Amino acid sequence: MVQTLQNWLREHESDLLSDYRAMLRIPSVEGPALPNAPFGEHNRAALDLALGMTQGWGWRTRDLDGYCGYAEFGTGDREVAVFGHLDVVPVGPGWKHDPFGAEIDGGYVYARGAIDDKGPTMAALYAARAIAECAPDLAARIRVVFGCDEESGFQCIKRYVQEEKPPTYGVAPDAGWPLIHAEKGIADAFVSFALPGTLLKLVEIKGGQARNIVADACTARLLVDESAKAEIQSRLDQSWDKNLSFSWQGSELHIEAVGKAAHGSWPWGGDNAVIRVLRFLMEIAPLADQETYTELFEMTHINGSGIGAEGSDEPSRDLTCNLGIAKTEGDRIQFTMNIRYPVTWKGADLRARIEKHLKGLPISCELDDFTDSKPLYFPLDHPLTKTICEVYETETGDTKKPGVMGGGTYARAVENTVAIGTGWLGDGDAHQTDERLAIESLYKMSRIYAHILWRLATG
């Protein structure tokens, strides 16, 4: 039967590619809430496309008021569910391809969402469709869930678990191969402080697209005291950062920096433009302000030590911390720190550590808010883990072991669910400029997913 399913998928590759590109052309970045569209009109349009497609195939569908929806077929108590998401992160500058054009270039499809998560979701949908077409009397239910708020809050999946029971087995195609058996906890620490400086007074700073993206651009305005202007200008003359520019407008110093976006769980994989600006301010600050700007710069360390959060454990290794957003609000600045913490830790303990550390800093800082998504951990001998590993090895010959990730998927929010692999070497990285997926990878994923779903459905 697995061979039959995969043959069907090979015969329908052009349909998969066409539907995939249609989904990519919808700019499903979260927007203002509308009736029956809590995450904006474009996320609603993506959900409508998915539900309309599956209704046309004769599947049963449900729309959970625009938060998410699902389509299913089959009968029986056993339920195998796929949890994919149709929303995407903001685009950012520097794209060579239209981010919502779904352009094909060199065997790759380029678009925001190509690899995270529209490609894997559509590949899994077609894998399920192959089973529906080739095994219409399946004594199990296969359900594909379409989320619309994975990137900015998980409100979609929170609504889902309020109204639907957990599956017998679930997979979220949104991670590394063969699967991720441990997902770090994810916390957002919103740290604020008064506008810093005396002779070099920070008036405004603005940087970052989203909490879970390494900031790729930042601007700042500073008011310079006349008594310090010559000293600061001397340091400006010796500045070295080619990705940062500055200009004078009277007594104001304007700074612009560019960096490189990356997923917030991998902060060392990008180049944080906000950190670049803070380092620059530390270097040019007059003696009276150097301690203040040094403290601000050190607060941004990617291991979390700047806010007292550093640490590790054996299953998941080191904590990471990404300064995703910096913004000015009135006479204060707020940093949004996106933290991926070890799987054996508790979010409440982490919050207490951060609050204690901030109270001990020379500058006056406050923890305005703290959000937490607890870690996920599946033992390696769990039936779900073992089955997916067996299928992946059969399909690829690769004996790669299950991994650990700092990223968060729907698996952490739904019982009996793990995140499985997407893409291969050469395919683009999530959240980066010119995100891409090889067409052949799309097809290969669909065949592996079909094998996984069949094994889980037939036990």
Which residues belong to the active site? 87, 150
The values of phi and psi at residue 362, to 5°, are -65, -30
For residues 441 and 127, the answer to whether their CB atoms sit within 8 Å is no
Residue 36: exposure state from Cβ atoms within 10 A (0-12, 13-18, ≥19): exposed
Q: Which residues pair with 62 in a beta bridge?
A: 70
The values of phi and psi at residue 30, to 5°, are -55, 135
The values of phi and psi at residue 55, to 5°, are -60, -35
Q: Which residues contact 246 (CB under 8 A, 6 or more apart)?
A: 236, 239, 253, 254, 255, 256
Alpha carbons 324 and 162: distance in angstroms, whole number: 30
Of the candidates 405, 385, 449, 451, the one whose C-alpha atom is nearest the C-alpha of residue 144 is 449
Q: How would you classify the pairing of strands 103-105 and 108-110?
A: antiparallel
Bond before 178 cis per omega within 30 degrees: yes
Alpha carbons 459 and 449: distance in angstroms, whole number: 15
Q: Which residues contact 107 (CB under 8 A, 6 or more apart)?
A: 438, 439, 440
Q: Which residues contact 415 (CB under 8 A, 6 or more apart)?
A: 166, 170
Joined tokens for residue 269: 């994989």
For residues 404 and 319, the answer to whether their CB atoms sit within 8 Å is no
